[in-house]
Amino acid sequence: MFTAFATLLSHYKRHPGQLAMLLLGLWVASALWSGVQAINASARDSYARAEALFTTGLDRLERRDGEPLTRDDYLRLRRAGLPVSPLLEGTLEAPDGTQLTVIGIEPFTLPGDSDFAAAGTAGELTDFLTPPWQTRVAPDTLPALGVSHREAPGTEPRLAEARLPPLILAPMLPPDTLVMDIAATATLLDSGERITRLVAAPDALEQAPEGLVLTRAATLVSPGQLTESFHLNLTAMALLALAVGLFIVQAALGLALEQRLGLLRTLRALGVSGRRLVGLLALELLLLGVIGALAGIVSGVWLARVLQPDVAATLGSLYGADVAVTLNLPWHYWLGGLAVTLGGLLLAGSGVLWRAARLSVLGLGQAQAWRSGFQRQLKLMSAAGGAVALVGLALWLWLAWQPPGEGLLAGFGLVAALLLASALWLPPLIALLLAGLGRLLQRRPLAQWALADLQLQMPRLALAMMALLIALSANLGVSSMVGGFRLTFLDWLDQRLVADFYLRPPAEQHDDIHAWLEAHGEVAELLPTRRSEATLVAVERGGDAHNGEVRELALPVGVYGITPGATLLPSWPLLATEAGREVAWQTFAAGEAAFVNEQLAIAEGLSPGDRITLTAPGGEALLPVAAVYPDYGNTRGEVLLATPELASRFAAPPGSIGIVLAPGGDRAALRAGLRQHFAIGGDELVDQREVKRIATGIFERTFTITRALSALTLAVAALALLASLLAQARERRRQLAPLWALGVPRRKLVTVQLAQLGGSAFVVGALALPLGTLLALGLVAVINVAAFGWRLPLYVFPGEMALTLATAVGVALAAAALPAMKLWRTPPRALLAEEAT
C-alpha cells in the first residue's frame, strides 16, 4: 500500500515541474479566493457591528430649522409621553490622528431592542453613569488610542484635550467608536445642554412633534444593504480567479495522469486493485490540496491585508460605511476557505479519477486514440455550451420581465453564463477553424503539419485557452465599464459642480451671510439649496397608454432644492424630458414641475409627464415630472425642486449655498472676507476644485480593487497557458525531432511553433473582443442598474481592445518562447535520442 503510494508520488520526483505547476495553480486560485473572502468577511463583521449599534435601526428626530436640540426639548417631549432618548455625537482625534466617533447615550430611555445592550459588558451600570464613567470600545480601536489589549481595561487614555473615562472592552462595537454615558460625552465635547438628535424605537412615534423632522429607521439604509453589490462584485471576481486557477490544476493533473498511465497499468498488473488505485490517487489529490490551500489562505490573508485599507476607504467614502482597516476574521472563514479550495480541487480532479477508474490494463496510450476521444469531448463541449447559453438566455428573458433594479444575482448569473458558454464553445470553434484552414492549405506541407500538430495539442491546450478567453474578456469588460464610468462621471461632475465655492453657513448666520454675499461685488450668482425628507405617496401615469392610472405607495425620498439660474441652467444634465430642455426648465423654475433622479425613475417606472404626490411634515405637493436627471453616486431616490418651492411647500431649512464668482473674481479675497465677517472657513467653505478632487479620488479608489483583481486574473490565465506549454515541452520536442531529421531547419521549426501558438492566441484574443464588449454591456446595463439604480452609456475603447489582443498574443508568445529557446539550444542528436526512447 505504502509502496504503491510512494511509487505514484515518485512521478513528481522525476517531474518536479509538474508538481510545482499543480501547487502553483492551487496556491494562486485559493489565494485570490481567500483574499477576497477575507475582505468580505471582515467588512461584514464591521457592518454587523455597525448595525448592532443604535445609530441604525432607530427613528430619528431633528429640528426642522437645523438648530441643535437641547436637554429641555428632550424633557418637554418625555413629559408629553413621547418615548424619545437623547444621543450626543461628536468626534475626537486620537493620538495617531484617527478620527474617533464618540457617542453619548442615556441608557434608561434608549430603546431596549436597539441591540445596544449587546455591546455592553457585565460592568456595573452605576459605574457607567457616574464619574469617572466608562468608555466602551472595541479591541480593534485600541491601537489608535495607543493602548495594548492587555493593559486596556481601566486605562484612561489621554487625547489632545482631555482624558477618556476608563476603558471597558466591548467587541461588538464598530471600529473607531467610543460609547459612553451622555454626561461623560457632554463633558468631553464641552457641548453643554445640546444634543445631536433624539431617537425612538421604530414606529414608536406616529408623527413628528411640532417643529421637528422625523426620519424613519426604514429610510436609513444600513451599510450592509448598500454595500451588498460591492461585495458581490468582489466575490464574482474571486470566483473567476478560482475557476481560472483550477483550470491550471486540471491541466496539470491530466498531464500527470497521462504520463503515469504506464505506471498505473504496471501497478494494476502487479495486483493493486483498481479501487485502491483510485483511492491512492484521491489521497494524493487531498495531500496536494491541503498544502496548496493552506499556502493559498496564508497568502490570501496577506493579500487582503494589503488591499484592506483601500477597500475600507472606498466603502467609507462611497457608502459612509465604517469598515475596520485591520482584518477581523471569524473562525468559519478559515474552514470555509479550505473547503472551497478542496471542493474545487475535487471537481477539477474528478475527471482524472474517473479516467483512472476506467483504466484498461491492456490499453495503449496513444495520441491518436486521445484525439478521437477529444472529438467526442468537443461534441460534448458544444452541447454543454449550448445548454449554458440557453440558461443565459432564460436568465436574460427573466430579467427583462423583472422590475428594473432587481436581480443583481441573476445579472451576475447571466454574465457567468455568457462567459462559460463562450469558453465551452471555444475548443470546438478552434477545431473547426483548424479543419477549415487545413483544407485551404493543402499545398503547403509544413503548414499542413503545423495545423495537424496543433489539432493534436488542442486537448491539452484547450483548457488553458478557455481560461485565457475568460480572463481576457473579463479584463476587457471591466476596463470598458470603468473607463466608461470615468468618462460619464467626470462629465457629470463638471456639469453638476458649477459654482466656485460651496458654503454651508451655520443656520443662525444664514440670512446675514446670504445678504452679505449678494452685496459682494465679486459674486456673480448665488445658488442656495435646501434639503428635506418626504414620502412619495402616489404616482399618476401620464401618456396615452396609462392616462390617469394612479398607484399608491409610501416611499421615502429625499427632496433637494436647487436654484435654476443662468449658471446652472445650461449645464445641469438631463436624461429625458417631456417637451424639451427649455420647457422643462421653465416649468421647473416656475415651481410647476419637479425633476426626479434616474434611480427613482427606474425604481418606480417614472417618466416625464407622470405626476407624483409627495407628503412631508411641512406640507404636501402634487407635481408633474418634467425631466429625469442622472445622479451617480446617490444611493436613494430624489426629487428635485426649485429652492423657493422647498422652503414654501416643505418648510425645509436653508442648506448650503453655491457661490459663482464673476469672471476674474478673486477666490482668496472672498475667502478672507467670509472669515473676517463671519468667522467662516475650513469645513464650512469648500472650494469646487477640492470637491472635484475628492470625488475623483473616491472614484479612483472604488475601482482600484476591481482593476487589481481583473489584472491578477489575467496573470493567472497567462500562467495557466505557460504551465500547459511547459508541461508538454519535452514531448513536443520529441515530435519535432523527425521534422528536423527530414531537413526542416531549427529556425523554421521555432517559427512554426511560435506561429502555431501566436495564431491560436490571436484567435482567442479576437473572440475576447466581442465577448468583452458584451460583458461590459451586461455590467453597465444590468448589474449597475440592479446595484446602484443607474445605467451607464456603453463606451467602446479601441485602445483597450488592441491591448487585449496584444496581451493575448504576447502571453502566448512569451509562453512559447521558453520551450522554443530550449529547442533552439538542444543539439539535434539529443532530439533524436529522445525520439528513440
Partner 1 sequence: MRRITTLAVPLAALWLAGCGEESPPTETAGFAGLGQEAGEFAQAHEGIRLRFPEDHAAHPDYRIEWWYLTANLEDERGEPLGLQWTLFRQALSEPRESSPDERPAPWAADQLWMAHMAVSRGETHRVAERFARSHSRQDDGQAGAVAEPFRAWIDHWQLASRVDTSDESGEGDTFAELQLTAQQDDKHGGFGYDLTLVAEGPLVLHGVDGFSQKSADGQGSMYYSQPYWRVEGEVILDGESRAVSGRGWLDREWSSQLLGPEQQGWDWFSLHLESGHKLMAFQLRGGGADGGDYRSGTWISPEGEPTALAPDEIAMTPLATQRAAGREVPTRWRLAIPRAGLDMIVEAPHAERWMETSVAYWEGEVIARDAESGEHRGIGYLEMTGY
Q: How far is the CB of 137 from partner 1 (least distance, A)?
A: 17
Q: How far is CA 12 from CA 177, 259, 302, 391, in A?
A: 54, 11, 29, 41
Taking the complex as a whole, how short is the minimal distance between the CB of residue 180 and partner 1, in angstroms? Answer: 11
For residues 134 and 807, which CB has a smaller minimum distance to partner 1 in the complex? 134
The b-or-e profile of 329-348 (16+ CB within 10 A means b, else e) is beeebbebbbebbbebbeeb
Please identify, using beta-carbon distances, which residue of 106 and 258 lies nearer to partner 1. 106
Minimum CB separation from partner 1 for residue 88, in Å? 8
Q: Say which residues have a Cβ less than 8 Å from residue 16's Cβ, sequence separation at least 6.
A: none
Distance linking the first and last C-alpha atoms of the chain = 30
Q: What is the grid cell recorded at 547?
A: 392616462
CA distance 301 to 310: 15
CB nearer partner 1, residue 178 or residue 820: 178
Please, which residue, 191 or 807, has the CB nearer to partner 1?
191
For partner 1, the closer of residues 191 and 760 by Cβ is: 191
Q: What backbone phi and psi angles, to 5 degrees, belong to 794?
A: -85, 125
Q: Is 203 exposed, middle or buried (0-12, 13-18, 19+ CB in 10 A)?
A: exposed
Least spacing, CB of residue 200 vs partner 1, in Å = 12
What's the closest the beta carbon of residue 80 comes to partner 1, in angstroms? 6
Closest CA to 27 of 345, 440, 357: 345
Least distance between partner 1 and beta carbon 90 (Å): 14
Beta-strand ranges (E) seen in 296-451 are none
Instruction: Report the C-alpha gap between 416 and 282 in whole angstroms.
Output: 29
CB nearer partner 1, residue 126 or residue 366: 126
Nearer to partner 1, 187 or 535 (CB): 187
Rounded to 5°, angle at Cα 658 from 657 and 661: 130
CB of 48 to partner 1, least distance (A): 15
| Residue ranges of E strands in 511-653 | 523-540, 550-562, 576-577, 594-597, 611-616, 619-629, 638-642
Q: How far is the CB of 184 from partner 1 (least distance, A)?
A: 9
Pick the closer one to partner 1 by CB: 126 or 207.
Answer: 126
Question: What distance separates the 2 farthest-apart alpha carbons in the chain?
Answer: 104
Rounded distance, CA 415 to CA 777, Å? 10
- At closest approach, how far in Å is the CB of 300 from partner 1? 33
d(CA 767, CA 797): 16
Instruction: Name the residue type at position 705.
Output: I
Q: Which is nearer to partner 1, 189 or 680 (CB)?
A: 189
Dihedral sign for Cα atoms in the order 768, 310, 228, 535: negative
Question: Could you tell me the CA-to-CA distances from 1 to 19, 94, 271, 280, 536 in Å, in that order?
Answer: 22, 63, 11, 9, 74
Distance from CA of residue 105 to its chain's centroid?
Answer: 35
**In the complex with partner 1, which residue's Cβ is closer, 53 or 421?**
53
Q: How many helices (H) and strands (E) does the chain have?
A: 24, 20
CB of 122 to partner 1, least distance (A): 6
Based on CB atoms, which residue is closest to partner 1, 104 or 385?
A: 104
* Nearest partner of 156 among 168, 144, 170, judged by Cα: 168
d(CA 532, CA 554): 16
Query: Nearer Cβ to partner 1, position 78 or 822?
Result: 78
Residue 566 CB, nearest approach to partner 1 (Å): 48
Site for partner 1, rule CB under 8 A: 71, 74-75, 78-81, 104, 106-109, 112, 116-118, 120-122, 124-126, 129-131, 181-183, 186-187, 191-193
Question: Residue 716 corresponds to which amino acid?
Answer: V
Q: Positive or negative CA dihedral for 496, 498, 499, 500? A: positive
- Residue 162 CB, nearest distance to partner 1 (Å)? 13
Place of cell 461590459: 776
Nearer to partner 1 among residue 72 and residue 552 (C-beta)? 72
Taking the C-alpha atoms of residue 379 and residue 428, their distance in angstroms, rounded to an integer, is: 7
